Structure 1
């Protein structure tokens, strides 16, 4: 397959960029019916951002995301001193509009409410980054605090362990993968005094206990109580 005219193909629900990159210009085949894999919503920002950035970088269009980039002048003086349309400006606007449309097509309709009135790629991109970077930071703080403040109380051991795992999974969805050691520590710190002997054995052991190993020990203790 000729790379200069190949399609960028990722399975999903939004348009995909197509280009032959002639002289670095995206041509009229910028879109196809193929899609990227996710619509942006409140729960998948990091995944969406990763895929969008990869697509944009493939076609070397990331400068359109930079609000500091100044477009070419809209008009230029010709040899007679008259103002004429600048072809470089027309090309810039065509590509910016195409990419802006592509970004808008990759977000959930509810998210579009935050983008009303924005018509440049940089405006759209930076609005989304500011919105979801702040949300991601809040969610990271919330889930990390929840992970280390959870207590077993009257939960069954199975439900308690699933709750701890849920917080770890939620942190991973925000881009912060919890190590197995921290996962185990969160479990042990949340147990009642009834499990003190098991905690002592696990923490004093020279063998590193996995989450699965700790889970098996605690479920076995509960079954024998």
Structure 2
């Protein structure tokens, strides 16, 4: 503020300074959306999405609920394709809460299907179930009758 003589000049300088910082922060938070990956448990993943949205709202860059849903779905892997199809097929809009519940439910189902294909041994180790085909019947060869005549 050195060299500024009027309050108007000072306010304009402050506005310019804070506006550029806000734009930089908004870009930083939006870039964080792109770096969030779904390798996290879905509850943590959605928490990071919410934190980014909250930070953007705090600097005056509110993200609409539709865009929040879009950001959340965009970062999911192909295992969530069935959920994405269901969400895009619905005529009525979704709330972020509904999408979150659906994603958490789907993750639970995915984890359940993974665990049902494994078996936990007595020692705590996990082994996959292996099924082998058994022959439908066994042909037993009986010795030829002996002739004692």
Q: Which runs of 5+ in 1 are unaligned?
A: 1-114
- What is the TM-score normalised by the length of structure 2? 0.66
* 1:174 paired residue among 40, 59, 65: 59
Q: How many residues align?
A: 110
Counterpart in the other structure of 2:102? 217
Distance 2:57 2:86 in 1: 29
Contact between 2:36 and 2:48, CA under 8 Å: does it hold in 1?
A: no
1:143 corresponds to which of 29, 32, 57: 29
* CA apart distance, 1:118: 4.8
The partner residue of 1:165 within 20, 25, 50 is 50
Q: Does residue 1:202 correspond to 2:81, yes or no?
A: no
2:7 is the counterpart of 1:125:
no
Separation in 2, partners of 1:178, 1:133: 18
- Give distance in 1, aligned partners of 2:17 and 2:73: 36
Q: Within 5 Å, give how 1:32-51 maps onto structure 2.
A: none
- Per-residue CA deviation, residues 116-140 of structure 1 (Å, 9 max, x unaligned), is 5655312321221111111111122
Q: Indicate conservation of the 8 Å contact 1:171/1:178, yes or no.
A: yes
> 2 CA distance for matches of 1:170 and 1:192?
25
Aligned to 1:188: 73
Instruction: Say if 1:146 and 1:167, in contact at 8 Å, map to a contact too.
Output: yes
Would you say the 8 A contact 2:22–2:59 is kept in 1?
Answer: yes
Could you list the per-position Cα deviations for residues 38-93 of structure 1 after superposition, in whole angstroms to 9, with x for gaps in the alignment? Answer: xxxxxxxxxxxxxxxxxxxxxxxxxxxxxxxxxxxxxxxxxxxxxxxxxxxxxxxx
TM-score by length of 1: 0.45
CA distance in 1, matches of 2:36, 2:26: 19
Say which one has the larger Rg. Answer: 2
Deviating 4+ runs (over 4 angstroms): 116-119
Measure, in 1, the Cα distance between the counterparts of 2:36 and 2:78.
12
